[in-house]
Structure 1
């Protein structure tokens, strides 16, 4: 599990920018290791790295409905009406339909709102586009949960930790569900 910092791309190699693999010690870097899903360059938070193809499939495939939860700051006021809008599902200007999302308002003012949002899919720039569609812009985005995995608040940005026994059991549970 890696706490991805901003400014780092979710890739194994990049000619111009630092990658999540650059954050790992050389003795565990491998061409077989890959990130489960992507986080944009400016997005921080929980990123799972694995060499287990079935696990990656299980966590990402829409049929398994694995929720991802983010803490989000936006540059405007969000209200309970927005909660309803997100629960119904957002439609982008290009016609792309997003599945319903769970939105919880943590704080709100005319210039800044902080929310938690959970989604079960991962379209390109989905969260940013969802908020743009209701008239606000994301100013900070951090993934704090991926399925049953939760970002350890003590894990500093740019650091990783091997999975502990509880997290390894979560993997076993996911893999058993796919049988």
Structure 2
């Protein structure tokens, strides 16, 4: 059980004083009832509530799937382009969600964000080998020799040990799907270049067992269960 004031605070609706002001203004509802007592207690399991007409579900920790458009940086403090955090509601940002890994500014597709530091560590630690799936548009046709190099292994400039894709699928003459389980700076683009082609378009379509939903439009997000990342 937690007070509604504490619930709003932990869910990112501002400082404690701001949360008290929201309650006093009559914009907080639980099960259709306006709550004006900041000390009203509720069971948080399966709790849904509204703030200014926006429905939220109480979550101790949150995991978000965002369909990242081009032109956004995966940084809290971006240098030359807007942060992906601009695409999220303010309460999510206030509670401290962070990108799980990074996508380049010009890369689109599935980006996970969470305020669960332990989960973020699990999903990004090299020893975990969590697979990521990408759709790659190529400058030149994907020849059998090129595809073979991706699967057999190529050497990147900063590593003498060959690296390879877990799986490569041909989607079109100049479009392939690549699955990798390691991360490096510009790794997919460099992998493609080392195999003798050039990446002209890159979209992440999967993270672990989770695939970018077909109905999740560019720039939109949804809350997901971490279990879907690790599903068999």
Q: State TM-score, norm by structure 2.
A: 0.67
Aligned pairs for 1:54-133 (under 5 A) are 54-101=118-165, 102-108=167-173, 113-133=174-194
User: Residues 106-159 of structure 1: CA distance to partner in whole angstroms, max 9, x if unpaired?
Assistant: 111xxxx10000000110001111111123211110000000121111111111
Aligned to 2:62: none
| Structure 1 pair 93–63 and aligned structure 2 pair: CA distance change class (3 A) | closer
Aligned to 2:81: 17
Q: Secondary structure, in 3 states, of the residue corresponding to 1:93? A: coil
Alpha-carbon distance in structure 2 between the residues aligned to 1:12 and 1:49: 12
Q: Secondary structure, in 3 states, of the residue corresponding to 1:140? A: strand
| Structure 1 pair 95–162 and aligned structure 2 pair: CA distance change class (3 A) | closer
| Structure 1 unmatched runs, 5+ | 175-179
Alpha-carbon distance in structure 1 between the residues aligned to 2:160 and 2:216: 35
Aligned to 2:195: 134
Runs of 4+ residues over 6 Å off in structure 1:
none
Alpha-carbon distance in structure 2 between the residues aligned to 1:105 and 1:7: 27
Offset at 1:32? Answer: 2.3
Aligned pairs for 1:156-175 (under 5 A) are 156-163=217-224, 167-170=225-228
Offset at 1:13? Answer: 2.4
| Structure 1 pair 160–81 and aligned structure 2 pair: CA distance change class (3 A) | same
Tell me if the contact between 2:69 and 2:218 (Cα under 8 Å) persists in the aligned partners: yes
Q: Secondary structure, in 3 states, of the residue corresponding to 1:87? A: helix
| Structure 1 pair 169–96 and aligned structure 2 pair: CA distance change class (3 A) | same
Match of 2:205 among 123, 144, 150: 144
Q: What CA RMSD, in Å, does the superposition of the two structures yield over aligned residues?
A: 1.8
Alpha-carbon distance in structure 1 between the residues aligned to 2:103 and 2:94: 20
Aligned to 1:28: 92
Alpha-carbon distance in structure 1 between the residues aligned to 2:216 and 2:162: 31
| Structure 2 unmatched runs, 5+ | 1-64
**Radius of gyration: which is bigger?**
2
Q: State TM-score, norm by structure 1.
A: 0.85
